[in-house]
Structure 1
Amino acid sequence: MNTVIQIALYLLTLATWVIIIQAVMSWLIAFNVINTHNDFVRQVWTTLDRITEPLYRPIRRIMPDFGALDLSPIVVLICIQILRIVLEGQIQPTYIS
């Protein structure tokens, strides 16, 4: 059972990093530091968007519209941290005699 929880924790860590990378990349695109006319940048952006959009969509339906400010990544990160705390509480120590 611990192995399944450890895999879930690893996937939550991976999801956290993907969300952070996508948020930083969106800021860089918004401030025109990187350009989406570059094929590589566009492919990375499209891939990150396709990965994160299913996580954001339910939250965007519930939350009010703040215009250009999108708070759904923050809400998803908070939910991931709550889930991480719950899963870490389920890990049982293994004793080697």
Structure 2
Amino acid sequence: MDGSSPLGQGGLFLLQFLIGLVIFALMLRFLLRATHADWRHPIVTFIAKVTNPLCAPVNTVIPAKGRWDVSALITAVVIQAIFVTAIGWLTDRSFGVAFISLAATTEVANQLMDMMFWLIIIQVILSWVSQGYNPNTAIFDQITRPILEPFRRIIPPIGGMDLSPIFAILAIKLFQIVIIGSIAGLAQQMIG
């Protein structure tokens, strides 16, 4: 299949979209477990049921213990590595194992950081518009609270304003630019 033809580009877009959804679900599973989100919540239950079949093979080798769902991370990296390999095949390029590993790892890390960024943004907006307890919005607080807590310890609220989301977002974006960007640059040098 020619990756430059409209059909090839459409197929590539569809494949990228589907893989993106799967990686999104796996990263959300990882975050939900890492932040001790309420497993009775319908969103959490849905994500667990959808991703369990994908994570089951890894869980047989590395059982899930505690708050870190390593199977979700490993599964995401493996799926992303298969996708990078498929991109190489569809575009008639040959990628080495080192490039595939680095590209898959950096893409999964980027998606995890992007998810954290957007969850914080959503939580900030919800905190302005939703007063009182709402189980549908409480899940965002459950996920973002452990991310924001270290920043809240360093930067206490000033005049009733919680500035920790601003500093958390800055830290996330700096991590993406400096650390993940450096690794992605190293990967690009392997094919260029």
TM range (shorter): 0.7 to 0.9
1:63 matched to 2:155? The reply is yes
Aligned to 2:108: 7
- Separation in 1 of the partners of 2:168 and 2:153? 13
What residue identity is the alignment partner of 1:48?
Answer: F
How many residue pairs get aligned? The number is 87
2:183 alignment partner in structure 1:
90
In structure 1, the residue matched to 2:122 is 21
Greater mean alpha carbon deviation, residues 58-67 or residues 77-86: 58-67
* C-alpha separation in 2, matches of 1:64 and 1:36: 22
Work out the CA distance in 1 between the residues paired with 2:135 and 2:126.
12
Normalized against structure 2, the TM-score is what? 0.42
TM-score by length of 1: 0.79
Structure 1: 5+ residue stretches without partners:
30-34
Contact between 2:113 and 2:172, CA under 8 Å: does it hold in 1? yes
Q: Which has the higher helix share?
A: 2
Q: Which residue of 1 aligns with 2:95?
A: none
Letter in 2 for 1:95: I
**Helix, strand or coil for the counterpart of 2:191?**
coil
Matches within 5 A, 1:39-50: 42-50=134-142
Please report how far the alpha carbon of residue 61 of structure 1 lies from its aligned counterpart in structure 2 after TM superposition. Answer: 1.1
Structure 2 stretches lacking a partner, 5+ long? 1-101
Cα deviations by residue, 1:10-44 (Å, 9 ceiling, x for unpaired): 11111111111111111112xxxxx546xxxx112
The whole-number CA distance in structure 2 between the counterparts of 1:75 and 1:9 is 18
Identity rate, percent: 31
Question: Which amino acid in structure 2 is aligned with residue 89 of structure 1?
Answer: S
3-state SS of the aligned residue for 1:45?
helix
| TM-superposed deviation, 1:45 | 2.0
